[in-house]
């Protein structure tokens, strides 16, 4: 991508209140704090820190002072430091790319497509063979998952274990502690089995939830691959948790604040003695208060272990959020057919299931998971290779 020269040409520089103010040719004004510039300077040095603590050269007053700032003959920013008169240079294009004004930070984020039930009319979907053979089709699939939090891939051969091969389009498949067969440590079956007392082996209604809330790092992308469809029920429910969270923010801001601020205990006990525990906020927010991740499963939220003053607000907030999630106007119901594969961002889109009668037919899905960061890394590789200008946009972080 060729940068717009008006965006990357410095028109004027001034030092104001310990910050450097840069006015660009397109009229935008960026302000760079001395600390920020100093950190950038340290990072740009060949022997600069890489994940180690940095020593900032401070003046006698304990501040990192700027003596002067100007534009070099090449059009870059030059800063002279008060403490030792050393000079730092910052490439103009780099400086603009990292401007941290609210407008530029918002511009760098990849916009999300929040959705409700009407997304059924324009379902994000793709064809498995194309995704495997054609990088453009694969990139389109990646973008659907980034923008909508899910995609339906058709034509994935309805055979045992194929979900593992399909998931490698997005990343390395993570082992699960509940694999059915030790020879396939990443694979789980979703099929009625009275001997296994977990929700994936039942046939009753299952409300919208994110998987593995009881793990410190919950599953990133999850895959539901249909091998056998039930004729009359067992539809898969999807809910855009970000849409529900935004509704909560608009209609019950106090509940939204509680769920985004108070960490709760999540837990899962398993009959084999496993005792998983994790702590986290239901709603994760980024630095601009943008919703970026969800951790919610009503069945995994442990007994509240909080200061007394929080018991009632937390209980009420959870009820309000669950109400929003259970509004069918937000539900996408999909009757998966053999060969269908749902790719779901487990930290944004919640999934569930309608009830079905197992005596009327079998329903068999297979599932596995991969990590979100690995998917994002692959996306950036491919988008850059395909020349997509927005490959460098900031992607939704997930649960933080």
Nearer CB in complex with Fe ion: 184/211? 211
Taking the least distance from each CB to Fe ion, the nearer of 227 and 314 is: 227
Select the residue whose beta carbon is closest to Fe ion and give its number. 211
Query: Rule CB under 5 A: which of 304-343 touch Fe ion?
Result: none
Count the residues of the shown chain that bind Fe ion, applying the rule CB under 5 A.
1
Distance from the first to the final alpha carbon of the chain: 31
Question: Is the Cβ of residue 211 or residue 345 nearer to Fe ion in the bound state?
Answer: 211
For residue 367, the minimal CB distance to Fe ion (Å) is: 8
> Which residues sit opposite 268 in a β-bridge?
276
CB of 350 to Fe ion, least distance (A): 9
Joined tokens for residue 187: 């694979």
Task: Choose between 355 and 386: whose C-beta lies nearer to Fe ion.
Answer: 355
Which residue lies nearer to Fe ion by CB, 143 or 211?
A: 211
Least CB distance to Fe ion at residue 178 (A)? 12
Site for Fe ion in 26-65 (CB under 5 A): none
Separation of alpha carbons 251 and 267, rounded Å: 29
Stretch that binds Fe ion, among 24-32, 94-102, 207-215, 226-234 (CB under 5 A): 207-215
Tell the smallest beta-carbon distance from residue 346 to Fe ion (Å). 8
Residue 109 CA to residue 212 CA, distance in Å, equals 27
- At closest approach, how far in Å is the CB of 306 from Fe ion? 26
Stretch touching Fe ion by CB under 5 A, among 35-43, 205-213, 250-258, 336-344: 205-213
* Least Å from the CB of residue 210 to Fe ion: 8
Angle, CA 130 vertex, CA 124 and CA 133 arms, to 5°: 140
Q: Would you call 366 helix, strand, or coil by DSSP?
A: strand
- Residue 211 vs 340, nearer CB to Fe ion: 211
Nearer to Fe ion, 66 or 207 (CB): 207
Candidate segments 44-52, 128-136, 162-170, 203-211, binder of Fe ion by CB under 5 A: 203-211
| Contact pattern for Fe ion over residues 208 through 227, marking x by CB under 5 A | ---x----------------
What is 57-119 written as a DSSP string? ---TTSS--EEEEEE-TTS-EEEEETTT--EEEE-HHHHHHT--SHHHHHHHBPPP----GGG
Alpha-carbon distance of 360 to 20, in angstroms, equals 71
Pick the stretch among 18-26, 173-181, 188-196, 204-212 that binds Fe ion (CB under 5 A). 204-212
21 and 30 in contact (C-beta within 8 Å)? Answer: yes
Q: Which is nearer to Fe ion, 186 or 211 (CB)?
A: 211
Tokens 């497509």 — which residue? 113
Secondary structure of residue 364 in the 3-state scheme: strand
Tell me the closest approach of the beta carbon of residue 51 to Fe ion, in angstroms.
36
Interacting span for Fe ion (CB under 5 A) from 65-73, 172-180, 189-197, 206-214: 206-214
Nearer to Fe ion, 115 or 223 (CB): 223
Query: What minimum distance in Å lies between the beta carbon of 209 and Fe ion?
Result: 6
What is the distance between the alpha carbons of residues 162 and 155, in angstroms, rounded to a whole number? 11
> Please, where are the H alpha helices in the chain?
5-8, 34-44, 92-97, 102-108, 128-133, 135-148, 162-167, 241-251, 253-261, 308-325, 372-385
What's the min distance (Å) between Cβ of 283 and Fe ion? 19
Query: Least distance from C-beta 4 to Fe ion, angstroms?
Result: 45
Q: Are 189 and 180 in contact (CB under 8 A)?
A: yes
Judged by CB under 5 A, the chain residues 108 through 147 that form the site for Fe ion are none
**Residue 197 contacts residue 315 (beta carbons within 8 Å):** no
Kindly state the smallest distance separating residue 351's Cβ from Fe ion, in Å: 6
| Token pair recorded at residue 338 | 């053999």
235 makes contact with Fe ion (CB under 5 A): no
The residue among 66 and 368 lying less far from Fe ion, judged by its C-beta, is: 368
Residue closer to Fe ion by CB (options 142, 296) is 296
If 0-12 CB within 10 Å is exposed, 13-18 middle and 19+ buried, where does residue 397 land? middle
Phi, psi of 158 (to 5 degrees): -80, 70
Site residues (vs Fe ion, CB under 5 A): 211
């Amino acid at each position: 991508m060729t940068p717009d020269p008006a965006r990357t040409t410095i028109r004027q520089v001034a030092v104001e209140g310990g910050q450097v103010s840069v006015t660009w040719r397109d009229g935008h004004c960026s302000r760079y704090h001395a600390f920020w510039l100093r950190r950038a300077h340290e990072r740009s040095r060949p022997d600069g820190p890489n994940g180690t603590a940095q020593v900032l050269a401070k003046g006698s007053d304990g501040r990192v002072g700027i003596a002067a700032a100007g534009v070099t003959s090449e059009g870059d920013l030059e800063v002279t430091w008060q403490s030792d008169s050393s000079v730092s240079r910052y490439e103009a294009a780099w400086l603009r790319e990292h401007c941290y004004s609210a407008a530029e930070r918002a511009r760098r984020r990849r916009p999300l497509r929040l959705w409700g039930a009407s997304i059924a009319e324009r379902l994000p979907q793709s064809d498995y063979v194309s995704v495997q053979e054609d990088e453009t089709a694969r990139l389109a699939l990646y973008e659907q998952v980034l923008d909508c939090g899910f995609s339906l891939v058709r034509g994935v051969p309805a055979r045992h274990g194929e979900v593992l091969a399909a998931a490698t389009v997005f990343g390395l498949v993570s082992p699960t502690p509940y694999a059915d067969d030790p020879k396939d440590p990443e694979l789980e079956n979703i099929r009625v089995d009275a001997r296994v007392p977990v929700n994936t082996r039942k046939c009753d209604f299952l409300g919208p939830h994110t998987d593995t809330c009881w793990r410190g790092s919950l599953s990133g992308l999850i895959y539901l691959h249909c091998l056998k469809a039930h004729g009359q029920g067992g539809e898969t429910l999807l809910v855009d948790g970000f849409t529900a969270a935004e509704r909560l923010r608009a209609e019950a801001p106090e509940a939204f604040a509680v769920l985004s601020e108070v960490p709760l205990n999540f837990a899962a006990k398993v009959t084999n003695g496993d005792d998983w525990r994790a702590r986290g906020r239901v709603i994760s927010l980024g630095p601009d208060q943008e919703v970026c991740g969800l951790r919610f499963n009503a069945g995994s939220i442990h007994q509240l272990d909080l200061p007394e003053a929080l018991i009632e607000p937390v209980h009420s907030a959870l009820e309000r959020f669950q109400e929003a999630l259970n509004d069918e106007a937000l539900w996408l119901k999909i009757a998966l057919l053999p060969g269908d594969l749902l790719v779901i961002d487990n930290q944004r889109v919640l999934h569930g299931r309608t009830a079905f009668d197992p005596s009327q037919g079998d329903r068999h899905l297979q599932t596995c998971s991969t990590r979100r960061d690995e998917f994002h890394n692959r996306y950036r590789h491919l988008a850059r290779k395909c020349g997509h200008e927005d490959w460098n946009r900031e992607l939704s972080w997930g649960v933080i």
